[in-house]
A and B are shown apart, each in its own frame.
Chain A
C-alpha cells in the first residue's frame, strides 16, 4: 500500500520557533496566577507551549501556532473538556492565544500563541468583577 504522505522529519522545529517559545515561557512565568481557574488557564497555556516545542510553526511571521485537538489539550493540561474550553475562551479574551484555523473532519484546528508586545496585557487572573450572567431588571 502506498503511503499517503511524503516521508519527513516531523520533529524538526525551526530555531526561531524555539526562541519564540522560550521567550513566551519566560514571560508567562511572571504572569499572575491567582484567583479562580487561573491555574487551569496556566496549565492549558503551558500545555500549548510544550506542544509548540515539539511541533510548533511560525504563523503570520511572528506568532507560534500548534495543531492540537481540544481533547489532547485537555489530557495534557490535566483538565476536563469543558474546563479546557473555558480556559481557552479566557485565554483568547486576554489576548494570549487565538485560533489560527478551524478543524476539518478528523484534522484538528490550530491555536496560535501570540507573542506579547505592547498590545497584550493578559494574565491568568480572572477579571476583577464577576461576569454579568443576567441583565438587571430595568425600572
Chain B
C-alpha cells in the first residue's frame, strides 16, 4: 500500500507527493499528533495543518478530540476514489500507452535500420 502512496502524482486537485508523505506518516504511526507527525517528517507542526485538514476533508484520515490523527476505516477505498476522480489513474494509463507506442516505434526503427544496413 505504501507503494501506491508514493506513486501519487502531482497536479491540480490531486493529493500530490507532499500530502502523500503526510498520509504515509499517519499510516506508519497511527494515532500520532500533529507535532509528532511533524517530527517524523522533519517539518514544522504549523506547516502540516493544511495538508492534514485536506486529508481529513478527503475522508482519508480523521482527527480525534485529543488532536490525534487516525486512518479512516475505508481510507483505501477513499484513496482509490480520489485517484479515479482526479484523473490520476487515467494519466498513468495514458503515459503507459504512450510509452508502449514509443517502444514499438523504436523497435520498428531499429528493424528498418538493420534491414537497410543489410540491404
**Interface of A with B (CB < 8 Å)?**
32-34, 39-40, 42-43, 46-47, 50, 71, 74-81, 83, 105-106
Q: Which of B5-55 contact A (CB under 8 A)?
A: 6-10, 16-18, 20-21, 41-43
Let me know if B42 and A34 touch, CB within 8 A.
Answer: yes
Distance between B19 CB and nearest chain A CB, rounded to angstroms: 10
What residues of chain B have their CB less than 8 Å away from a CB belonging to chain A?
Answer: 3, 6-10, 16-18, 20-21, 41-43, 92, 95-96, 99, 102-103, 106-107, 110
What is the total of A-B residue contacts with beta carbons within 8 Å? Answer: 48
Q: Are B8 and A34 in contact (CB under 8 A)?
A: no
A77 near B42: Cβ-Cβ < 8 Å: no
Check A106–B9 contact: CB distance below 8 A: no
Residues of A within 8 A of B16 (CB): 39
Nearest B residue (CB) for A106: B107
Interface of A is mostly: helix
Task: Give chain A nearest CB distance to B42 CB in angstroms.
Answer: 6
User: Which residue of A32, A47, A71, A77 contacts B99 across the interface (Cβ within 8 Å)?
Assistant: A71
Contacts of B10 in A (CB 8 A): 40, 79, 83
Contact pick for A77, options B6, B18, B21, B107, CB 8 Å: B6
Contact status B8-A78, CB under 8 Å: yes
Please determine whether B8 and A106 come into contact, CB atoms closer than 8 angstroms: no
Judging by beta carbons under 8 Å apart, are B106 and A46 in contact?
Answer: no
Which chain A residue shows the least CB distance to B102?
Answer: A71
- Complex Cα distance, B7 from A77, in Å, reads 5
